[in-house]
Structure 1
Amino acid sequence: MGPVRYFVLGPARVHTSEGPDGAAVAVGGPRVRALLTVLALRAGRAVPVGVLVSEVWGAEPPADAVAALQALVGRLRRALGHERVVSTEGGYRLDASRDDVDLFRFERLAAEGVRELGLGRAAAAAALLDEALGLWKGAVLADLPDRAAEAARWEARRLDARRGRLAASLVLGEAAPVLPELTALCEAHPLDEPLQALRIRALRDAGRSAEALAAYDVVRGEIVERLGVDPSAELRLLHRELLESEPGAAALPAVRASVGNLKARLTSFLGRDAELGELGEELRSSRLVTLLGPGGVGKTRLSQEAAERVGGGWPDGVWLVELAPVTDPEAVAEAVLGAVGARETVLRGAGAEELRLGEDPNDPTRRLVEHCAGLRMLVVLDNCEHVVGAVAGLVEVLLARCAGVTVLATSREPLGVPGEVVRPLGPLPVGVAVRLFGERGAA
């Protein structure tokens, strides 16, 4: 039969690669298609019998599941050829490469397209993303009985690719033609801030600035009401640009929109001027600084004051991650991901193939690296001591993969990451401590 291609972006199908579209291969009924889907998702890898039974039949396996699976394998072999469904110790393997499966071709093409967009090559990005999105022929993994979780991850990747394609359209001067698609997507994903920003830019570029301002107000209201937070820095800066482009903007005060999530401090800062200056210098020359000291010594306050004073050196913002509420080490990456404003999965310049941080595209460490790749930002990790191992592993990956990221950590023990600069912090001098106590008491 020659080389074949496997399709799971829609009902499972198999085509020979000969001819423009290839010839369709008759696979069989729903269970055979489900088996093919499970094997194609792990192309080239052995899949245990237990996993195959669970995913092919879901919550209702047959009485003799092993025999039933063997019968399905026999039918699939008759369709594809015995050599393509290989018996392994305790399971079976589809003899195919990842690029033989449309799902993984989509992933590769989408990553390449986003990378081209990041390099300023919008036309090349548009062609790659069109090819990637054109592979979708229906609901992903449609033949699996319990597909919701896995399908949701791939739908998120598809939305990433659509965002990238729409962004390329704006660069290519095609704002007006893509507005209907953007509007429909924004209605379906009202809290997707990168998508909302694209629509607002498209309205502006299409000469509809008043509608763009009105759209921002609607988006801001949704985010504040449903999430209890302000819009992202990207949206706030876009809003400012819109205001400045309107007639009469010259009368507006020159206020720089802050980037990041540091909150204004409501009390005075006393007695750490020397430490503050030294910490600022270390942050300018080192990519990982850990402020070390016992509880209550003032590490949190000093770290935030230092971050605010040197924050101008990081154009993509200063982001505070409060780790005290995080009790599960496995939740550290997700906490950092949420704090830096990556509520939606966003592919940056580093593609999935390039990162190799794990096969799950929704893995929080992988998503964090994708979000931060190409950005220049300062991340403040506060109260690391109770999850220090997980923090150390995450920081090591982040610094290795994201050259523009600097980390300031506060902890009762060092992270132990190569290149770490440790700055111990002692108690305040007695006189300063007394004055500070008096101010707080008066307040």
Structure 2
Amino acid sequence: MRYRILGVTQVEGEDGTVVPVPGPRLRALLTALALRPGRVTTPGTLIAEVWTDDPPDDAPAALQALVGRLRRTLGKDAVASAPGGYRLTATEHDVDLHVFEDLVHRGTAALARGDAATAAQVLDEALALWRGPALADLPDRTAAARPDALHLEATRARVDADLRLGRAHTAVPRLRELTAAHPYDEPLHALLIRALRDTGRTADALAAYEATRRALADGLGTDPGPELRALHADLLAAPETHAPPEPPGRPRPPARSGNLRPRLTSFVGREPELDAIRSEVHRARLVTLTGPGGSGKTRLAEEAAAGLPQAWLVELAPLDRPEAVPGAVVSALGLRETVLLTTELTAPQDDPLALLVEYCAPRSELLILDNCEHLIEAAAALAETLLTHCPGLTILATSREPLGVPGESVRPVEPLVPDQARRLFEERASAVRPDADTVLRDRAAVEEICRRLDGLPLA
């Protein structure tokens, strides 16, 4: 006979016909015996596995009666009595669980040797045995943990074999399902990222990494492991390595290196704040400078980004509609011109958010979202979407209030201290008044003006 316990317990006769095993208790007893084919199992163990925490009053007698029923169902020689308990008269080759374990070990060993074709064949044979959930008739699911883990290992290995055989396109949909079912399984997520990379979908691979990073951080409070981090570094370092070749004659978008305006005036004071913001931008992916109007948030943000090759200023102050925010970023990045001049971007031109995700996902850039306060919800939604899908992107925002996005680092911009305010007043006065030296001799008056203006640079 053949015993199937990778699912609801079944028995097949020598001719392949199914032998009915009626009743959950009877199937539980057969499952417990089939876990140990050819070996004696004590009555205590069988009682615990069949009835768990609710055994009958005379459990040994109830077990003996159940064994009698099983013998009448399968044949009197199917279950043997032995000193110390009962034994299923079968070998491991007669039980699908043990055959499955052997096939999985052989398949994973072939994969480790680099023989992906053999691994795929053997693992297909193993997975065909799975009718899951394993040991479905045992009331206690503890014993099912090992076969369940082995099934997941076999599934991973089978997908890995597909990737090595150049079948990444067929693997992606299955991996999407698997990673959704196992959100914290890093090896599965690594396989999905590899599959997306191997199909030339670098942006999607980066987005998958970022989604995994956030899931691990939010759900477990941990960072991705070495394999995921190595994949991420590979994608950022050379995303073009895995992209499909471009058609001949395809135009490349013009090289752009940010849009920060040249400063027309000197930057006075705030040296400690400047150093702190630059340091924070390297640690956090969203930094928001908050403070009242005229406190110098925009200038401080621009100064902190000065010298960075890919820093883009997006001015939100002129906007009066929340839905215009993504389009303003598209315009600041010059993407409308890129779409018109080239075929690099495939996202619909009427979907600015999709265009931004496609463009920014494989790049490392800094966006300055300036004056977010009157469109705070739209700015926050845009920032969260871009940071989720574009792992190389950093956002430096200015606003009178925080955006409220997870992971945001908020840095209040305080008024200038008296000495800084006086220096700024003197420099600006000297730029517009030829006789400024005479005026500035009245230091007490200058200090009083700065005090009455609350140390606000714009004032």
Contact 1:28 1:75 in 2 (8 A): no
- Matched to 1:196, the amino acid is H
Equivalent residue for 2:66, pick from 66, 72, 77? 72
Which residue number in structure 1 is paired with residue 131 of structure 2? 137
- Matched to 1:212, the amino acid is A
Give 3-state SS (helix, strand or coil) of 1:82's partner: coil
Q: Is 2:92 the counterpart of 1:98?
A: yes
CA distance in 2, matches of 1:248, 1:96: 54
CA distance in 1, matches of 2:217, 2:237: 23
Deviations 1:172-191 (A, max 9, x none): 11111121110111112121
- Matched to 1:47, the amino acid is T
Which residue number in structure 2 is paired with residue 15 of structure 1? 12
Which residue number in structure 2 is paired with residue 222 of structure 1? 215
What are the within-5 Å matches in structure 2 for residues 21-36 of structure 1? 22-36=16-30
Which residue number in structure 2 is paired with residue 39 of structure 1? 33
CA distance in 1, matches of 2:205, 2:171: 15
Contact 1:45 1:93 in 2 (8 A): yes
- 1:132, CA displacement in angstroms? 0.7
CA distance in 1, matches of 2:50, 2:240: 62
Q: Is 2:244 the counterpart of 1:241?
A: no
CA distance in 2, matches of 1:88, 1:174: 52
- 1:93, CA displacement in angstroms? 0.5
CA distance in 2, matches of 1:140, 1:248: 42
CA gap 1:209/1:17 in 2 versus in 1, 3 angstroms: farther
- 1:247, CA displacement in angstroms? 5.0
Give 3-state SS (helix, strand or coil) of 1:117's partner: helix
Which residue number in structure 1 is paired with residue 309 of structure 2? none
CA distance in 2, matches of 1:127, 1:82: 38
Contact 1:27 1:79 in 2 (8 A): yes
Deviations 1:110-138 (A, max 9, x none): 11000011111111101111111111113
Which residue number in structure 2 is paired with residue 183 of structure 1? 176
- 1:31, CA displacement in angstroms? 1.2
Contact 1:197 1:234 in 2 (8 A): yes
Contact 1:126 1:165 in 2 (8 A): yes
Deviations 1:142-174 (A, max 9, x none): 11122x222222211110000000000101111
Aligned pairs, number: 243
- Matched to 2:50, the amino acid is V
Contact 1:190 1:219 in 2 (8 A): yes
What are the within-5 Å matches in structure 2 for residues 378-417 of structure 1? none
- Matched to 1:202, the amino acid is A
CA distance in 1, matches of 2:90, 2:36: 9
- 1:11, CA displacement in angstroms? 1.0
Which residue number in structure 2 is paired with residue 5 of structure 1? 2
Q: Where in structure 1 are there 5+ consecutive unaligned residues?
A: 250-443
Q: Is 2:116 the counterpart of 1:119?
A: no
CA distance in 1, matches of 2:63, 2:179: 43
Which residue number in structure 2 is paired with residue 197 of structure 1? 190
Contact 1:28 1:76 in 2 (8 A): no
CA distance in 1, matches of 2:191, 2:142: 27
Q: Give the TM-score, by structure 2 length.
A: 0.51
Contact 1:213 1:242 in 2 (8 A): yes
Q: Where in structure 2 are there 5+ consecutive unaligned residues?
A: 243-459
- 1:248, CA displacement in angstroms? 11
CA distance in 2, matches of 1:26, 1:213: 51
Give runs of ≥4 in structure 1 deviating > 4 Å: none
Contact 1:223 1:231 in 2 (8 A): yes
CA distance in 2, matches of 1:210, 1:29: 53
Equivalent residue for 2:160, pick from 122, 147, 167? 167
CA distance in 2, matches of 1:248, 1:75: 65
Which residue number in structure 2 is paired with residue 321 of structure 1? none
What are the within-5 Å matches in structure 2 for residues 366-385 of structure 1? none
* Percentage of matched positions with identical amino acids: 55
Which residue number in structure 1 is paired with residue 46 of structure 2? 52
CA RMSD, aligned part only?
1.9
Give 3-state SS (helix, strand or coil) of 2:114's partner: coil
- Matched to 1:226, the amino acid is G
Give 3-state SS (helix, strand or coil) of 2:77's partner: helix
Higher mean alpha-carbon deviation, 150-159 vs 192-201, is at 150-159
Deviations 1:388-425 (A, max 9, x none): xxxxxxxxxxxxxxxxxxxxxxxxxxxxxxxxxxxxxx
Which residue number in structure 2 is paired with residue 152 of structure 1? 145
CA distance in 1, matches of 2:94, 2:195: 36
CA distance in 2, matches of 1:182, 1:151: 23
